[in-house]
Chain A
Amino acid sequence: MAETIDVIMDDMKMNRALTRIAHEILEHNGGAATIAVIGVLTRGAVLARRIAKAIEELEHVSVDLGFMDISLYRDDVHSKLDQPVIQRTDILFPVKDRNVILVDDVLFTGRTIRAALDQIVDFGRPRTIQLAVLVDRGHRELPIKADYVGINVPTRKTDQVVVEVSEKDGVDRVSVHPNHDGKGRRSETGGGAR
């Protein structure tokens, strides 16, 4: 029997959610003056670029945008079946005293965000680090909570949440795939699965 895929976001919903998050960030920080946006590679970086663009269009200012690969900060780097291909971290601005908006696609166990927090702190001491995620699917293993959420989705731990973005996958979509192997990581067919 074919698995039932539950599409929870199409391109319209995703765009609305990201625009709302941009508004909430501006409201919470009293404008864009102190903001820097950092996306977690790969799909978090795409979403960060869109959020930064939305903030720039709303405020008519330029927003510092950075990208980070958290592979080297993971706590399971030696227990995985394979070494992750590490990408370059590009944070070409000082984070000291900035309100850093950390952007990722899916918030699941919290371990990726823990690694990202460690890495940001290695670049300096931000005034605040705020977390923006497109999907919060629950099942946290660490005390981490998002400040800005596109959509909250109740899931089973064995489900896969797949985020696709047009820049990488040709389509904007978020879907939940029932998956009974217990692995909620990157899918082989593209799309960020968590």
Chain B
Amino acid sequence: MKRKHNLLILLAGLMAFASCKKDNFDPPGSTFKGRIIYEGEPIMVEQNQVRFQLWEPGWGLNGAIDVAIDQDGSYSAVLFNGNYKLIIPKNEGPFMTKSTGSPAKDTIMINLQGSQDFDIEVMPYYMIRNAQFSQAGGKVAATVKIEKIITDANAKNIESVSLYINKTTYVGANGNMQIQRKDSTVNAATDLNNLQLSVNIPAITPTQNYVFARVGVKITGVEDRLYSPVQKITF
């Protein structure tokens, strides 16, 4: 009886392995990664808020693969080899796509054969230059220069500039990504070449002697903010 039992288990085990081999196919193996850039510089955004879509035509039913952009402007997706259409949906991100003539979307054809690095060129409304952070007396201070990139009819004004600090490296306008913020409205008199902000460091539990800081720019009529790099500040 016992012997029979063991045999059964062995048989069941064998069958399980057999089915694994037969039913499965190779997982996607090609990494498609890169950054959203303007003139070689990455455009920084809020974590997982800006995204583009990859469509692979030729299949019966279509569904986009959403690729979210990290806060440093980079992205990465593991895909099958094939031909993809890369589409940045309208109004996505603090930038315009390159072919501004297209009313809705911009399409880039991607032929993916093996892993590939691909930087997506876009036209940001502004760029944050030379962000500098410092701390003194329980405050974090930031100085930035904001350069207007799009100056033609598509130009947009800045609504406000904010300084955010958080306990972790994820920093942004979202309430979960900040422990303190300072908003500063921008008007015609504001000197965008030397914009200064400062924010109090609140009590942190459990205590830590560092925070991460970042400056975000809200452009009028654009949902996604433009950001500076995240900076660790020890005190």
The reply to whether chain A is a binding partner of chain B is no
B residues sitting closer than 8 Å to A (CB atoms) are: none
Q: Please give the residue numbers on chain A whose beta carbons come within 8 Å of chain B beta carbons, in ascending order.
A: none
